[in-house]
A and B are shown apart, each in its own frame.
Chain A
Amino acid sequence: MKYFVFLAGDGDMGPWDQLSPEAQEAAFAEFGAFDDACNERVDVELLVGEALLDGSTATTMRTRGGEPTVTDGPFAEATEQIGGFYVVEAPDLDTMIDLCRFLPAYDIEIRPVADMG
């Protein structure tokens, strides 16, 4: 199965720019450990993984009555924004949950990718 895993909220980590250099270093090590854990498993493949710039850099496009409008800012007016995402091929949800334990303590949503085959 293919999973879309996104870092949905700051959780125990807090905002990135408020972390000390040491804490940022530790978080990078955890992201690296996640990559390694994925690579170590023969039945898991890390397909994509990206960090996102913060919500103030986002642009939202909405179409109403056939008319597209473009506005400044993220789609959801939430204080916390998606900070990054992965697309992972994994055999099942338990495996995916196990792997996500390697990531920094962000709030993480795990969503299956629709199988259009």
Chain B
Amino acid sequence: MTSKSVPSPTWADRALAEIHRTDWGRLLSLLVARTRRLDLAEDALGEAFVRAGERWPTAGVPTNPAGWLYTTASRVVIGHLRSEAIHGRKAPLLAARGDWVQPPVTDDIGELEDERLALILLCCHPALHLSSRSALALRLVIGTTTGDIARLFVVPKSTMAARITRAKKKIVAAGVPLAAPIDHELRTRLDDVCRTIYLAFTAGYAPAGGPDLLRTDLAGEAVELAAILRRLVADASQVRALHGLLLLQHARRDARVRDGRLVTLARQDRSRWHHDEIRSGTELISRVPVGTGYTEELRLQGLIAAEHANAPAASDTRWSTIASLYTRLESLTGSPVVRLNRAVAVGEAQGPEMGLDLIDGLDDALARNHRLHAVRADLARRAGNVALARSSYQAAIGLCANETEKRYLARRLSTLDPPDP
């Protein structure tokens, strides 16, 4: 089942693609809740979409398309269950909490509640490997194809398929339950969910080789996941902060690559940014109260992204505001990467020497990180320390794994003043 590609752009196909986009997760969550069979439910819903693709172009789109898909998928599941019963096979069911009443298996979509929150929490359960959680959430809640998820994380499709299968097996075997957790757990669980979605998002912006330099379309699916989650738990601060942050970062997608090359923030064509999304993201972030822990991390990152996104030109960037936000983020996380970003901001706000002072002492923590050397090189160049700039560019090039970025660093190195004879 493809998520976005429509082979022939007829009206029925467009309707089907639209329903896939808006209803896949809701339909799957209902099917999973009713049948407690993760494996059957997903295949059956895929099958229902295939059948719709065959039938709707000639027979027309039904009046209740989601209901039609649900009914079709249910009948596929019921057929499998009958066949299993006849052959005396008993497949394990998803675990259920003691107080959970399973809805009956019928082919009527009825008035059932949306079970997507339970499905999202299931996919993002801490008992699953971190690398599987994002993949599973995209696959089950958004309906992203396994091929696309593999493309997002830059792994072979067979590897991703195996990873998703293994995670689904573990869910059933270990008894991870499909149920919204009790209130006091929800807050911590939502932190895990937000981390998972953020990981999927950043995977889309990790440069890969070839024409797939960035996978912004798939990062967009992670933004959609955050939007769904925010609608489900509107009052959760971390979810609002995450959605705002992702909107702000994703709004720059069309300006990030030009002629197959990454474009740095300062050089991006700001007219290509999605300013409606920047407004929404800024508004969301501004409504997150000062908090603690991961929520506060997301909020501070969101405020930094909003500063960049709302500067009319690179030269208008309020670097001292950004530097003080990074100071708070660093005291919260103790992260050397945050300190490095802070050094960049301080270098802009207070001069390159101040920035260089801040990155002293990061060499142990970030020994293999080419960005440390690239930042030092840029600061040293601006401070007029050509020798330090040269050795730092060379160190950065030696550690950088991405060809595009390597070429960029090499160009920076070649424009330095020649060494003294």
Which A residues lie at the B interface, using CB under 8 A? Answer: 1, 3, 41-43, 90-97, 110, 112, 115
Contact = CB atoms under 8 A, between A and B. Distances in A.
A59 to B, nearest CB: 31
5 contacts: A41-B98, A91-B98, A92-B176, A93-B125, A94-B185
A97 B125 CA distance: 12
Interface in B135-179: 173-177, 179
- Main secondary structure on chain B at its contact with chain A? loop
* Interface pairs A-B: 4 shortest CB-CB: A43-B98, A92-B177, A92-B95, A1-B175
A90 B185 CA distance: 18
Q: Classify chain B: how many residues form its interface, as a range.
A: 10 to 19
B252 to A, nearest CB: 39
Interface centre among A42, A92, A115 (most CB of B within 10 A): A92
A93 B176 contact: yes
Given A91-B98, A93-B177, A94-B181, 8 more contacts: A42-B98, A91-B95, A91-B96, A94-B97, A94-B176, A94-B185, A112-B173, A115-B92
B154 to A, nearest CB: 31
Contact of B97 (A42, A91, A97, A112): A91
B173 A92 contact: no
B60 to A, nearest CB: 44
Contact of B95 (A1, A97, A110): A1
Contacts of A96: 175
Contacts, number: 43
A98 B29 CA distance: 25
Interface centre among B173, B175, B177, B185 (most CB of A within 10 A): B175
B177 to A, nearest CB: 4
Interface string B208-245: 00000000000000000000000000000000000000
B187 to A, nearest CB: 15
Nearest to A43: B98
A21 to B, nearest CB: 34
A98 B172 CA distance: 18
B227 to A, nearest CB: 26
A39 B97 CA distance: 17
A90 B127 CA distance: 16
Contacts of B95: 1, 91-93
A43 to B, nearest CB: 3
Contacts of B181: 94
Contacts of B185: 94
Contact of B175 (A41, A42, A93): A93
Contact of A112 (B98, B174, B177): B174
Nearest to A44: B98
Contacts of A90: 175
Contacts of B125: 93
Nearest to A117: B90
Contacts of A93: 95, 125, 127, 174-177
A92 B173 CA distance: 10
Contacts of A43: 98
A92 B92 contact: no
Nearest to A90: B175
A8 to B, nearest CB: 15
Nearest to B171: A93
A93 B181 CA distance: 12
Contacts of A91: 95-98, 175, 177
Nearest to A111: B174
Contacts of A42: 98
A24 to B, nearest CB: 30
Contacts of B176: 92-94
A112 B174 CA distance: 6
Interface centre among A1, A91, A97 (most CB of B within 10 A): A91
A115 to B, nearest CB: 7
A51 to B, nearest CB: 25
Contacts of A1: 95, 175
Interface string B97-119: 11000000000000000000000
A3 B127 CA distance: 15
A9 B175 CA distance: 23
B52 to A, nearest CB: 34
A115 B95 CA distance: 13
B173 A95 contact: no
Contacts of A112: 173-175
A115 B127 CA distance: 20
B127 A92 contact: no
Contacts of B174: 93, 110, 112
